[in-house]
Structure formats: C-alpha cells, structure tokens
Copies of this chain bind each other. A is one copy, B any other.
Amino acid sequence: MTQPLKVALLGCGTVGSAVLRLLDEQAADLTARIGRPVEVAGVAVRRPDRHPDVPAHLLTTDALGLVTRPDVDLVVEVIGGIEPVRSLLLAAFEAGKSVVSANKALLADEGGELHAAAAKAGADLYYEAAVAGAIPLLRPLRESLAGDQLRRVVGIVNGTTNYILSRMAETGHGFTEALAEATELGYAEADPTADVDGFDAAAKAAILASLAFHTPVTAADVYREGISAVTSTDVARAAEIGCTVKLLAICERVPGNGDGEGDSVAVRVHPAMIPTTHPLAAVGGAFNAVFVEAEAAGQLMFYGQGAGGQPTASAVLGDLVAIARNRVAGIAGPGVTSYAGLPARPIAETPTRYHVSLDVADKPGVLATVAQEFARHGVSIATVRQDGHGDAATLVIVTHSAPDAALSSTVTALREMPAVRAVTSILRVEGLS
C-alpha cells in the first residue's frame, strides 16, 4: 500500500519544527520502517504568520477541525498545557485517531481519562517525549519490564535544576546567582517556577509512578519541594560527606506491614544528597538519567538528553512510527494497565533519611542532649561528626531511615533547644546503603 498516513501536527515551536524537519529528512526511512509513507496533513498554530518556514497551505488556526478531519490518521501534539489540548485530544480519539503527545502536565493530570478515551476508540496513545526527552524510558517501563515487579524509580528528570545544582557545586555560588547564570545561558526560562519549584519534575514523577506501579498517580499525589531553598552551605556540607545535591523524582513501592496494611506508593520530588559514587551523581548539566530497581532485573539506568528540540523530536518520531505501524496493521497496541490501584502514601509516613548540620555550644553533654532528641522522636542516628572551633562546635548528623514526619519534628525540636545555636543545613539523603 502506498497511500500515505496523514499526520496532524498540533503546535509548531522548537519541538514541532524539529518534528517537521525530521519527517522531511527521513521520509524514505520512515516509509520503509512503517510500510507506508507519512504525510503532514496540517499544522495547527495560533499565529500562522509566525511560521514562514511551514508551507502556508498546511497552516491552520482551526486545531479542532484539523484533528477531526476524515483524512487525518494520526495526531502529534506538542502544544503543552491542559486546555485546549485535553479537549482536542479527546475529540481526536472520538474521531478514531491515534495520538502522540509530549505533554507531561496533561498526561500527569488527565492520563486516566485520555487512556480510557484511546481504549474506547481502539486507538493508541504514546508519550515517550513527556519524560526525559530522548531517553527511551516509558516504553521500557510499559513493556520491557512488564514481567517484573518494580521497587523504585529514581530520576534526574529536570535539566534546568540539574544545571543550577551542578553550577552551585562547581562554583560555590548560591542558588540566586546560579539561577541568574542559567537564565542568561538559556537553560532556565524567564519564569523558572515550573522547573525550580519542582512542578515539571512532579508531573514526570506522576507519569513514571503510574507506569511503574500500574496505579493511577497524578501530580497532586506527588510531594514536591523545589531547589530554591538549597544553599551553598547545603552543597558544601554534601561534599564534606562524599555526596552531591540533586533534585530527585522518587517513585517507590512501600511494602505494607503485613498486618492488614497493604503496599502503597510514595512519590516525591525534592533535593537530596546522594553519594558521589551513585550512578546518578555523575549526571551533570542538562542531562537526565533514571535509575530503576526491579525485583528480578536488579538495577538499571537510562541516561541521555532530557530536553531540546531534536532529542524530544526523536522520542516523538519513535512513538509516531509505533502508532503508524499499528495503523498500517489495523490494530492498536496494548494500553497501560492501572489494575493495582495502590494508595498514595503521604510524605509524613514515607521513610526517608536526613542529613542535619547544627551549630552548637561546645560544652560536654551537647551531643548527648541532641542525640536524645532524635531518640525521643524514634529516629536512629547513622553517623555523627563533631568539629569543635572555640566555644562553638558543628554537629553533622546523618540518620537512618524513619518516617519523614518523625524527622521533620525532630528538626523542629532541635531548633528550640538552648544548646543548638543554629540549624545550618537540612537535606534528605538518598542512595546510601
């Protein structure tokens, strides 16, 4: 069959332009891989006059008209945001089209509804580009690891914050200066809130957790702390204990207590110290990496470029080939499963480990008093280092794992102890054995 498959492209920014270019450059290869040529049916944009590179007859402002056009087979969405995209994609499914989306916010919040609509229509929904750009990650979770039991997925999934934290470590600068540099170099957007406050990572964490644990997880289920409170002291303290600070998206299956309480899913985004020997510690700058622990497979890591027009377009085109091959075969691929329906575990009850640095009076018995405060909250201490200087001393404490609420209430209590002059650094610690 040589009748082309027709693609509607929604949005034509950096990623959309790269998709158009690759569709053109690799037309012969794509035809051979799919079994039929792929042709762009139209490109929906808000301001057609801003896209002089796109043939004028393809441009339209009528996105709804485009996705429901009878000759359109496949829809590629690279607009972003919730509405009007949600409605457009629901309309596309209703009209029987398969969809590729790069929209993490939408998939994190409305993934369930969209998957249901796709299944009802016998259509496909893929969104590899929504998490960690070019890194093949969602397909491995959906398919390659579908015969295994996942324990944890821990990722560096936001390049902007990773760049800022890397620069803080390299230069000793504080957050504000590092952010200013990132903005100047184009690594941070003019309004960096979505990245810096962890919203972007939280959406990605929700998507990862949903697939990893066969459980619907939305961004609202994700505990979220950004990096704006990370200080140069935190970064320096991390280095002193052989760690580095990263913004992590952590998706965990927490085993039940065997006494009526079943397994639950804890999903959180926050800065944490990780040992410099951990595979994620070496992931610098704008790169992304995701570390996966599975029952049978053991430890896996996926590494690559997490953003940018070309890498994101590569992921979009991989999905496009998949839905196109299915369309040629007259089938839809398997959807995602969410049968497990595990409850979301609140951060307060999620086991974490803390690093705490304190300035204390250098008097006998201070360490004992501080240690007692940890014990009183049921928190066990893993290591303490005490450095005296004059009449003051610094205590650097790393705890064992305890419910996050116990740890944070310990810190609150420490702040009020007369012997503690200042709590100079608190950060969670991950990846210690």
Question: Which residues between 140 and 173 of chain A lie within 8 Å of chain B, taking CB atoms?
Answer: 140, 143-149
Of residues 239 through 270 on chain A, the ones whose CB sits less than 8 Å from some CB of chain B are: none
Please count how many residues in chain A sit with their CB below 8 Å of the partner chain's CB atoms: 58
* Chain B residue at minimal CB-CB distance from A298: B305
Taking A18-B296, A26-B147, A29-B149 as contacts, is the C-beta distance between A334 and B339 under 8 angstroms?
Answer: no
Residue A22 CB within 8 A of the other chain = yes
Question: Is A37 an interface residue when CB atoms closer than 8 A count as contact?
Answer: no
Interface residues as binary, A261-301 with B (CB distance below 8 Å gives 1, 0 otherwise):
00000000000000000010010000000000011111111
- Smallest CB separation, A131 vs chain B (Å): 12
B144, B303, B331: the one within 8 Å of A301 (CB)? B303
Does A394 sit at the interface, judged by CB under 8 A?
A: no
CB distance from A166 to the nearest CB of B (A): 16
**Residue of B32, B140, B305 touching A297 (CB-CB under 8 A):** B305
Interface centre among A279, A296, A318, A334 (most CB of B within 10 A): A296
Instruction: Kindly identify which residue among B33, B299, B322 contacts A304, using a CB–CB cutoff of 8 Å.
Output: B299
A69 in contact (CB, < 8 A): no
| Contact of A5 with B by CB under 8 A | no
A-B contacts, 19 listed (Cβ < 8 Å): A33-B214, A134-B298, A136-B140, A136-B300, A139-B143, A143-B318, A143-B321, A144-B318, A146-B322, A147-B314, A147-B320, A148-B317, A148-B318, A298-B305, A300-B303, A300-B305, A301-B304, A302-B302, A325-B334
Q: B-contacting residues of A (Cβ < 8 Å)?
A: 18, 22, 26, 29-30, 32-33, 128, 134-136, 139-140, 143-149, 214, 279, 282, 294-305, 308, 310-311, 313-322, 325-326, 329, 331-334, 337, 339-340
